[in-house]
Amino acid sequence: MAQRHRDNDIPCDAVWLDIEYMDGYRVFTWDSDRFPDPPGMLKHLDEQGFRVITIIDPGVKFDPGYRVFDQAVEQ
């Protein structure tokens, strides 16, 4: 998508990722199927002049076994 903007001379400074980038909508995670290399993707987009904005859902998914959920319950 970002490359298409560049190829078509469409001004664009940022790419906004909604909650679908998360693994099962768990905050502080990446879906490894859709985004197998987040650091590489972010570096590549930065080199093309894009900023990446990831939405953060303030809710923590009820999911026993999910580290963030388990820590919240413990504390």
Q: What is the pLDDT of residues 6-25, one digit of tens each?
A: 999 999 999 999 999 999 98
Q: Let me know: does 49 contact 61? Beta carbons within 8 Å.
A: no
**How many domains would you assign to the chain?**
1
Cα–Cα distance for residue pair 16/11, rounded to 1 Å: 14
**Containing structural domain, residue 17:** 2-74
Supply the pTM of this predicted model: 0.74
Could you tell me the sign of the dihedral formed by the alpha carbons of 56, 62, 63, 66, in that order?
positive
Tens-digit pLDDT profile for residues 42-65:
999 999 999 999 998 778 889 999
